[in-house]
Amino acid sequence: MFDAEADQSTAMLDESGVVRLMQKLNSNIAPTRVQQKVKEIELKRQDPSIKGQLNTEEFITLFKEVSTRPEIYFLLVRYASNADYLTTDDLLLFLEAEQGMTRVTKEKCIEIINEYEPSKDGKKKGQLGIDGFTQFLLSDECNLFEPEHRDVCQDMSQPLCHYFISSSHNTYLMKDQLQGPSSTEAYINALDKGCRCLELDCWDGPNDEPMIYHGHTFTSKITFKSVIQTINEYAFNFSKFPVILSIENHCSIKQQKTMANYMTTIFGDKLYCDKVDENASCLPPLESLVDKVLIKGKKLDLHTESDEGMVTDEDEGAESEKKKNNKSREGSIKKHKLAKELSDLVNYCVSKRFKDFQMSQHSQKYWEMCSFSENTALKLAMACPEEFVNHNKRFLSRIYPNGMRVDSSNYNPQDLWNCGCQMVALNYQTAGLMMDLYNGFFLKNGACGFVLKPAIMREEIAYFSANTKDVIPGVSPQILHIKVISGQHFPKPKGSGSRGDVTDPYVTVEIFGIPADCAEERTKTVPHNGINPIFDESFEFQINLPELALVRFAVLDDDYIGDEFIGQYTIPFECMQTGYRHITMLSASGDPIENCSLFVHVAITNKRGGGKTHRRGMSVKKTKRKKDYTSMKSVGVKSVDETFKVAIQPLRDGTDLRDSVQLALAEFKEICGLSPIANIKQCIRLLATRVSNSSEQASLNLVMKGDYPYLEAQGNLPDILKKALIHFDELVAECKNLIDQADGVYERLIHSQRAGLEWHEDLENVCTNAGLKGKKLTKAMENFAWNIRVLKGQADLLMQAKHDCKEYLRQIVETSGSTGLRKESEADDDDLEIQNSPL
């Protein structure tokens, strides 16, 4: 390739040709770095007359220097069986042991080699060298984001109120709230980002044309008609799921009729005009609203025959009016006339003033929804988080920024998601941390603008407070291990001074979620190196409610005065892939930064036994410490409590079975000298390697006894390997024990749950008759919900553990074959050969 590009007379390549060929061979090499290295080569030359050109040897040396990353080279060497390249077997082991891929075929490995290996010889021999391996790790196949969530993958048949909905505040504004321009472009931008709830602030305009702008300010105006036309054109380009138009109506009756006419004629069949089913008990399922536009606003009485009527102002108008009058009586809120034509377009998103949760529980209709300012919502979230969550199980809630945010700044949406609020509206036009979180959160589920809430926020018999420090019933805490390895091509912060400035980067890793999950860690600063800084630091986080957790990586400059931000990437915890991953960093505006990435390793493990997590170097040996079991809570009614008492023993049995497997697995990893985040395949590979490298004449055979794999040694093994085999046998025995007993314990747990559910319909009366009232009655209801949730959750965890055990055994069999361990089976007729084992 060099000869084809070089000058035929001199056999040399000029600087621009060097940059061009370098990028052809490796598109991730920064041109500025190549140019700098060419100048360094010139300075070292004995003949100073040759400038701006390289010969073949100089080019090869330069290419190796700028393209070979030591951290990737050492990773390759760890898995290369013989030389500085990966064979198909080596690559297969890396993909399964490190990248978490299951049942990888050699055909897939050959496909990867043919795709990423630059040399023809490597492709021909089925070998992946350092350049090909680097390209593979930088490709989309090693992206941190889970491919499953690139498409809609959640249950979309739930009622509309069971989803978080991507929502915009004052969507028409491009900048601030006082004098910023209004534009239809703002609606296009929001829809392109997956927004599904848009705000239209409507006022009377000239020539009977309704206008959209921020009232009583100097913002510019756009016609209502142009906005409806824009929404009609772009509403379903990015997502097929419904768009909700939040109408802030300040118009006269005449212009309200004009608004209704525009929406009816322009949207046509897209406009969802079905009448409310008064006999139903919940909002329609999301999947029934595909390609539909819903209108949120005030509505006249369902059975009115009048052409118009009086309604109270709601939403932001009501909030500001209440503050202005400083009154709370009913008459303090301004009323206005509403045209029946506009009222008829509103069905399942009817605006209603919020009084308190008790009033909503008894009188609010399921098709009615309340809007809250961020201050009001945050006060409710702090004072009564449980009631807020329960309210949002049945009703929609919309939260909007305080009116004092004239600069269009944003509040933290996480605080309101934690209470189950569906429409947490932000100012989309304002970039920053809060929009980073928002955009990251709605990457889930194909970025369709709807994210299913956690089950504990949806189920009728469930109790949840975001502020709880207890284990969440039915949810298994996860341990997130992140190793920040290196960075590539970090630019100077925006607005940096002289061109010669260097970057002193460091990385922060933040967890956003329920308060118990929030945490932050940072790496050391790497001085004067923004090109290829090596961090090599590990962090560990406990995630108690994975479905609400976000992980944010940020790169900052420690030596910069002012805004030190370089780039960030925010991802839902559930969308993270494990293994070695590159993260493309995003700018403050959310755009990818060219060639700028972070190289990390991610592992996710379950929390063992309710105690502290096992860290490297800490013993995992059994202790006599009393075990903490998940327990039943007292309802305070003897007959009900007796029903739950029978669940105490199966709860303990299930916990013992799961803990015994996890302890055996941890001890096996420790005796193998591996960290807790290692997987079973790495353990087997390590044992096979140590046996083959042993000075003693020894071998390991995989023996199938029924459906279960065992390792048997022949010859003299070192003591450390003998101990490892003892722990291996213990692990298989504990897996077998759990698999054998799981179904029985599961049935006992589910039987207890069903028996408890029989009290549900009449529970309040039963508790009242037992003399419980006030706070005691509330606590009894909460404890009942806890018990029901715990029983189902613990039963599900046990069946997941059974699945995990079968997967461990399958991996043992599979890895033993790929590492060359001899396969044998017992002589009994009932025993199965490896290839016939269902594992």
Whether 214 sits among the annotated catalytic residues: the reply is yes
Structure-block tokens of residue 36? 């700098």
E strand or H helix that includes residue 294 = strand 293-297
Structure-block tokens of residue 618? 């800490």
Half-sphere exposure (CA, 13 Å, Cβ side) for 145?
Answer: 23
Spatial contact of 237 and 286, defined as CB atoms under 8 Å apart: no
Structure-block tokens of residue 234? 């772009």
Structure-block tokens of residue 560? 């910069």
Q: Is the dihedral of CA 62, 63, 64, 67 positive or negative?
A: positive
Burial state string for 2-37 with b = 16 or more CB within 10 A and e = fewer than 16: beeebeeeeebbbbebbbebbeeebebbbeebbeeb
Instruction: State whether residue 839 is helix, strand or coil.
Output: coil
- DSSP conformational letter for 758: T
Half-sphere exposure (CA, 13 Å, Cβ side) for 606?
Answer: 17
> How far apart (Å, rounded) are the C-alpha atoms in residues 661 and 665?
6
Largest CA distance in the chain: 103
Chain centroid, CA 393 distance in Å? 22
Of residues 169, 481, 614, 727, which has the active-site annotation? 169
> How far apart (Å, rounded) are the C-alpha atoms in residues 366 and 363?
10
- DSSP conformational letter for 547: G
Question: Which residues share a beta bridge with 581?
Answer: 600
Question: Which residues share a beta bridge with 339?
Answer: 308
What are the start-end ranges of the H helices in 442-595? Answer: none
> How far apart (Å, rounded) are the C-alpha atoms in residues 501 and 724?
54
Whether 169 sits among the annotated catalytic residues: the reply is yes
> How far apart (Å, rounded) are the C-alpha atoms in residues 139 and 95?
14
Question: Which residues share a beta bridge with 250?
Answer: 203
> How far apart (Å, rounded) are the C-alpha atoms in residues 532 and 490?
8
Structure-block tokens of residue 583? 């993260």
Dump the DSSP string for 410-470.
Answer: ---THHHHTTT-SEE-B-TT--SHHHHHHHHHTTTGGG-SEEEPPGGGT-SS----TT--S
Q: What is the CA radius of gyration of the chain?
A: 32
Burial state string for 493-511 with b = 16 or more CB within 10 A and e = fewer than 16: beebeeeeeebbbbbebbb
User: What one-letter code names the amino acid at 321?
Assistant: E
E strand or H helix that includes residue 222 = strand 222-223
Spatial contact of 295 and 263, defined as CB atoms under 8 Å apart: yes
Least Cα distance to 745 among 788, 808, 794 occurs for 794
> How far apart (Å, rounded) are the C-alpha atoms in residues 152 and 446?
4
E strand or H helix that includes residue 712 = strand 708-715
Of residues 149, 162, 214, 614, which has the active-site annotation? 214
Question: Which residues share a beta bridge with 507?
Answer: 555
> How far apart (Å, rounded) are the C-alpha atoms in residues 689 and 698?
12
E strand or H helix that includes residue 723 = helix 719-757
Whole-angstrom CA distances from 36 to 39, 41, 60 are 5, 9, 16
> How far apart (Å, rounded) are the C-alpha atoms in residues 698 and 716?
6
Least Cα distance to 802 among 752, 740, 760 occurs for 740
Residue 525 CB partners (closer than 8 Å, separation 6+): 504, 505, 506, 558
Question: Active-site residues: which are they?
Answer: 169, 214
